[in-house]
């Protein structure tokens, strides 16, 4: 599925490049060389240096690239522990988003919840104050320290994601 999407956007980008070239506007140097130079940039500085007509080409390219980048990012945007991956990710997503490749998983989104909120929910499941067969069954094998560790890790997800973004 992922390969199909990647292939689709690759074709889209190639088609856009071909279309630009056939319009005879691609290799005039100067301004256009600049367009190629900051091909990977976001659209921010494009508006001031290019004409509106060219900007829309760029926007399309950037959209395609953005989609590609999102796809690549979803696969493993930030690092999570092996134990999260093996015990939680199957239902809550590798990054706690509650989805995988755009499909909803069984568990809700955890990303963005504070470690305190996560911990409270986990303890409530374990103690039976909150009813859920799946989570209860899972938590039987985990002690307080485990719950704390998972909570702390999940609470950190937004910061980890932000770090990745800043480094890109």
Query: Which range in 1-9, 33-41, 64-72, 114-122 contacts ligand HEC by CB under 6 A?
Result: 114-122
> How far is Cα 80 from Cα 76, in angstroms, rounded to an integer?
9
Look up residue 48 and give its two tokens: 């001031």
User: How near is the Cβ of 87 to ligand HEC at its closest, in Å?
Assistant: 4
**Which of 81, 90, 114, 143 is close enough to bind ligand HEC by CB under 6 A?**
90
115 binds ligand HEC (CB under 6 A): no
Residues between 58 and 87 with contacts to ligand HEC, criterion CB under 6 A:
87
Query: Which range in 18-26, 34-42, 48-56, 118-126 contacts ligand HEC by CB under 6 A?
Result: 118-126
HSE-CB of 116 using CA atoms within 13 angstroms: 0
Nearer to ligand HEC, 46 or 89 (CB): 89
94 binds ligand HEC (CB under 6 A): no
Q: Report in angstroms the alpha-carbon separations of 104 from 24, 91, 124, 130.
A: 45, 9, 24, 22
> How far is Cα 119 from Cα 156, in angstroms, rounded to an integer?
13
| Spatial CB neighbours of 78, under 8 Å, sequence gap ≥ 6 | 95, 157, 160, 161, 163, 164
Nearer to ligand HEC, 6 or 138 (CB): 138
123 binds ligand HEC (CB under 6 A): no
**Which of 150, 155, 157, 161 is close enough to bind ligand HEC by CB under 6 A?**
150
**Which of 88, 93, 94, 161 is close enough to bind ligand HEC by CB under 6 A?**
88
> How far is Cα 62 from Cα 167, in angstroms, rounded to an integer?
19
The count of other CB atoms within 10 Å of the CB of residue 18 is 11
- Residues found near ligand HEC in the complex (CB under 6 A): 87-88, 90-92, 106-108, 110, 118, 121-122, 132, 134-135, 138, 150
């Amino acid at each position: 599925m992922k390969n199909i999407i990647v292939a689709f956007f690759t074709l889209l980008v190639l088609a856009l490049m071909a279309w630009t070239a056939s319009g005879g506007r691609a290799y005039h140097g100067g301004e256009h060389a600049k367009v190629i130079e900051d091909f990977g940039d976001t659209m921010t500085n494009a508006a001031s240096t290019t004409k509106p007509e060219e900007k829309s080409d760029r926007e399309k390219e950037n959209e395609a690239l953005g989609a590609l980048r999102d796809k690549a990012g979803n696969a493993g945007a930030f690092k999570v522990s092996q134990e999260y991956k093996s015990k939680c990710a199957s239902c809550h997503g590798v990054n706690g988003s509650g989805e995988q490749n755009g499909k909803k998983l069984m568990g809700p989104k955890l990303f963005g919840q504070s470690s305190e909120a996560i911990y409270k929910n986990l303890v409530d499941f374990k103690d039976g104050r909150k009813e859920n067969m799946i989570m209860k069954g899972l938590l039987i094998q985990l002690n307080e320290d485990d719950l704390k560790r998972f909570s702390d890790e999940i609470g950190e997800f937004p910061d980890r994601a932000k770090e990745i973004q800043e480094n890109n």
